[in-house]
């Protein structure tokens, strides 16, 4: 064999290897959404289930991404990342079209949209461990944990100083909610997170307490690698438009609008009552779901707002029982004893289902449910009056986001004088609905959905 042959074979091998690598690179490169019919988006794992959504397929971010995908005429597919670092790697490696959401940071080579969310950074502790000293002095000699690659980690290192007054520890492979759960279970002294996550966590971890706010604001947007600059421009236009037409404001209200209305001690009481009182009535709520199709946890949340699950509850105005039915409503629904928990729950569920059915068919959920709950308190006549008032004020009568601003006006003479049904305590109805939204969110985290096929499994 000649020396030339010895040279040709390695060169041929090198050429083949390079060609293979190029082909693999081309195969792995994500096609444009319009080519594949699919928008692939990285999303942090806890956001898909815990930050603002009762179910894994429902959250602020998923709804925003789906709306953008619909604008592009494609479907959305989500790739879960365990933390901020993994999300950004997925974006930079070209395995997704963009990441949503991620905190807007300089100098990492990513292109960000305008912010969708703005929040603060906070340090959180257990209520039992909060001393009387002022923060950050209270942190001296203690350990504060934060997620790896998070803005909180950077802020803590700056606050700790050099030499460090307290220990800063980075955590990986868990979510912010897992970290906060470690605080509740006394495995961690303090944890740093963002204010929105803390407020969401308070709904099912009332033992948490705010220790201090870290300097600076956090802004969350969608992150794109440089090769998707044209897609970034379209996303930026979409977000600007979504701010102008109130889409973002409505979604914020849907997922976060109710989270500050209930005190921590009231949440703790609900969780305790769910363990002690609810088991006696769970079967009745589940039976009511089978009759009406309404989630039994929503019905339980309504009952908790009305009576705190007390079947003997009676108000000064004469409404009685678990679902606080008027005598007329009870007669209409065939209730012989309003203090019988089973009859009351079944009738209250039917009444709510009827109210939902009475609303115009074009109103979609969750607005449809929230408006029906307001009618449960006000009566459908007053709700119609409120909707008429909203239309006259150029507000959307089909949107709970708008209606909860209009209903309180119905107690003021300059507004109720125009209404056929007259004066109404619309502000009370708004508080009721917002409380039920919170109770429903909490119960949905602690109680499983009911499937009739499992009826005799309890």
Active site residues: 306
Backbone φ and ψ for 286, nearest 5 degrees, come out as -70, -40
H helix or E strand, kind and range, residue 39: strand 38-44
Beta partners for residue 419, in sequence order: none
At which residue do the structure tokens 């000293």 appear? 133
What are the structure tokens assigned to 200, written together? Answer: 């969401």
Strands (DSSP E) along 281-435, which ranges? Answer: none
Q: How far apart are CA 256 and CA 271, in angstroms?
A: 20
Q: How far apart are CA 281 and CA 268, in angstroms?
A: 19
Torsion sign over Cα 48, 51, 57, 58:
negative
DSSP letter assigned to residue 455: G
Q: How far apart are CA 236 and CA 306, in angstroms?
A: 44
Backbone φ and ψ for 62, nearest 5 degrees, come out as -60, -40
Q: How many CB atoms lie within 10 A of CB 154?
A: 16
What are the structure tokens assigned to 309, written together? Answer: 């699950």
DSSP letter assigned to residue 149: T
- Relative to beta strand 143-147, strand 190-194 is parallel
List the alpha helices (DSSP H) in 29-59. 33-36, 45-49
Count Cβ atoms within 10 A of the Cβ of residue 357 and give its class: 0-12 exposed, 13-18 middle, 19 or more buried.
exposed
Beta partners for residue 76, in sequence order: 39
Cβ atoms of 392 and 443 closer than 8 Å:
no
């Amino acid at each position: 064999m000649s020396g030339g042959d010895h040279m040709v074979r390695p060169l041929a091998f090198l050429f083949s290897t390079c060609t293979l690598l190029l082909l693999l690179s081309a195969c792995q490169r994500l096609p444009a959404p319009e080519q594949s019919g699919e928008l692939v988006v990285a999303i942090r794992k806890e956001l898909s289930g815990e930050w603002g959504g009762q179910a894994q397929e429902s959250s602020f971010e998923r709804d925003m991404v789906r709306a953008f995908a619909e604008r592009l005429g494609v479907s959305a597919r989500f790739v879960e990342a365990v933390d901020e670092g993994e999300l950004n790697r997925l974006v930079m490696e070209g395995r997704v079209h963009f990441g949503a959401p991620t905190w807007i940071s300089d100098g990492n080579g990513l292109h960000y949209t305008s912010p969708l969310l703005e929040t603060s950074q906070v340090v959180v502790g257990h209520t039992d461990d909060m001393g009387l000293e002022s923060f950050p002095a209270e942190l001296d000699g203690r350990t504060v944990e934060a997620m790896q690659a998070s803005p909180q980690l950077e802020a803590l290192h700056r606050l700790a100083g050099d030499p460090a007054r307290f220990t800063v520890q980075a955590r990986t492979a868990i979510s912010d909610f897992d970290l906060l759960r470690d605080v509740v279970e006394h495995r961690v002294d303090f944890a740093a997170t963002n204010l929105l996550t803390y407020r969401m966590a308070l709904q099912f971890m009332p033992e948490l307490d705010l220790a201090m706010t870290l300097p600076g604001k956090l802004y969350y947007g969608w992150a794109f690698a440089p090769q998707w600059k044209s897609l970034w421009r379209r996303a930026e236009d979409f977000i600007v438009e979504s701010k102008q037409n109130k889409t973002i404001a409505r979604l914020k209200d849907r997922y976060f609008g109710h989270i500050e209305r209930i005190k921590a001690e009231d949440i703790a009481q609900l969780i305790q009552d769910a363990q002690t009182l609810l088991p006696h009535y769970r079967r009745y709520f589940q039976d009511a779901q089978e009759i009406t199709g309404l989630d039994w946890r929503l019905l339980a949340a309504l009952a908790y707002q009305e009576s705190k699950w007390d079947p003997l509850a009676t108000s000064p105005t004469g409404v009685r029982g678990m679902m606080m039915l008027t005598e007329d409503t009870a007669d209409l629904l065939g209730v012989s004893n309003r203090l019988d928990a089973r009859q009351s729950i079944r009738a209250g569920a039917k009444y709510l289902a009827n109210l939902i059915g009475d609303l115009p068919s074009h109103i979609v959920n969750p607005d449809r449910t929230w408006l029906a709950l307001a009618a449960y308190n006000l009566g459908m006549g007053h709700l119609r009056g409120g909707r008429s008032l909203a239309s006259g004020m150029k507000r959307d009568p089909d949107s709970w986001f708008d209606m909860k601003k209009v209903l309180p006006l119905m107690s003021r003479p300059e507004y109720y004088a125009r209404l056929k049904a007259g004066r109404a305590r619309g502000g009370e109805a708004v508080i009721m609905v917002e409380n039920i939204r919170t109770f429903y969110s909490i119960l949905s985290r602690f109680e499983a959905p009911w499937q009739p096929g499992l009826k005799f499994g309890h």
